[in-house]
Amino acid sequence: MLIVTLTCGLGLTACGGTQGSVPGTEEAEVQRYAWPLGSSSPEDTVTQIYAEKFAEEVDRLSGGSMKISVYPNSVLGGDRELLESCKDGDIPFVVQNTAPQVTFMKDTAVFDMPALFETIDEVREHVDNLEFMELMQQVYHDGGYELLGYADQGFRVMTTNKKVESLADFKGQKIRTMENSYHMAYWKALGASPTPMTFSEVYIGLQQGTIDAQENPYEVIVSNKLYEQQDYVVETNHLPHLISLIVSEEFFDLLTDEQQQIIKEAADTAKEYAREQSDARIASRMDTIRESGTEIITPSEELYCEIRELCKSIYASIESSVSEEIIDAYLGDMQGE
């Protein structure tokens, strides 16, 4: 198993005692652990900040007896491989966007309902709703995982070489998307031509004209210098870019109650820290883009309204697949608006 190879390489040490040893006891009685955490994101992103803060807090709260090593950049595999390895218990922890999880847990498609929210604070309020979180934790549990929380990287936005000021301006644009049917349906509804593509090929695709546009949060656009190949960023804000922190259920169940509590507390702290960092970094990312000469366009309220109208068929499609109870808890008082 991968976990065995990794822990040996990471310096897993046994200093006497058992797995249930209490942090802070005599050095000779403390059992120490080193566990991997995988993500497919680059280092200079909120995803990495979230993962590193979680690892730091686990170390602090356990008095150094619980260590987590973060492996970004798909070192341990891409999103699909990470999910599969996590479920099998080979990689205990994973931090990733929710979009790739729809194939494994169909109810996570609730986050693919486009053009619902105006601010990221509104998104967080709905995601943190206790009833909704309990329902989602059950979804992940049924899938073989334990959900520890959601941070975010703000909204996903569009980059393109065509100035977008009306629905007609989306028409025919070949835009790279993730392999997610609901994401593709959104761009089709706008008249664009969604094109799934491995992320590592996006920069070259833009450079060579294989694709006209792409969509990602500001963090990813700047960390991967995608703005260098685009004249405009269009604040479509079509979806929140939520980042989940999950742990293998098989692995988690083997931990002591105290260890589980340390992990949960560390996850809560890391979530809040990552959100704060996201808010601060988005402003600086926007400055970087503007300084490069790329223009940021905020669509008119009229255009946003037209887009929301076109999204109704996507809402219906998601509602037919996702638990009604989950959708009701997620939308809350938005229903009927």
Q: What is the pLDDT of residue 3?
A: 39
What residue spans define the domains of the chain?
A: 2-334
Q: What is the pLDDT of residue 29?
A: 57
| Residue pair 231/34 in contact by the 8 Å Cβ criterion | no
Q: What is the pLDDT of residue 42?
A: 84
Which three-class secondary structure string do you get for 18-53?
CCCCCCCCCHHHCECEEEEEECCCCCCCHHHHHHHH
Over its length of 337 residues, how does the chain's per-residue pLDDT go in tens digits?
Answer: 333 333 333 333 333 343 444 444 444 456 788 999 999 988 889 999 999 999 999 999 999 999 999 999 999 999 999 999 999 999 999 999 999 999 999 999 999 999 999 999 999 999 999 999 999 999 999 999 999 999 999 999 999 999 999 999 999 999 999 888 999 999 999 999 999 998 889 999 999 999 999 999 999 999 899 999 999 999 999 999 999 999 999 999 999 999 999 999 999 999 999 999 999 999 999 999 999 999 999 999 999 999 999 999 999 999 999 999 999 999 998 865 5
Query: What does the alpha-carbon distance between residue 270 and residue 105 come to, in Å, rounded to a whole number?
Result: 24
Tell me which residue has tokens 């025919």: 172
145: β partners = 248
pTM value is 0.87
Q: What is the pLDDT of residue 336?
A: 53
Q: 186-216 burial, b for 16+ CB within 10 Å, e for fewer?
A: bbebbebbbbebebeebeebbeeeebbbbbb
Q: What is the pLDDT of residue 25?
A: 41
Q: Which residues contact 81 (CB under 8 A, 6 or more apart)?
A: none
Q: What is the pLDDT of residue 334?
A: 82
Q: What is the pLDDT of residue 32?
A: 82
Give me the sign of the Cα torsion angle 313, 314, 319, 320.
Answer: positive
Q: What is the pLDDT of residue 6?
A: 39
Q: What is the pLDDT of residue 207?
A: 97
The pair of structure tokens assigned to 182 is 């609901």
CATH 3.40.190.170 assigned to 2-334: yes
* Distance between start and end Cα atoms, the chain: 51
Query: What does the alpha-carbon distance between residue 32 and residue 28 come to, in Å, rounded to a whole number?
Result: 11
pLDDT single digits (tens) 92-145: 999 999 999 999 999 999 999 999 999 999 999 999 999 999 999 999 999 999
Q: Which residues contact 14 (CB under 8 A, 6 or more apart)?
A: 31, 32
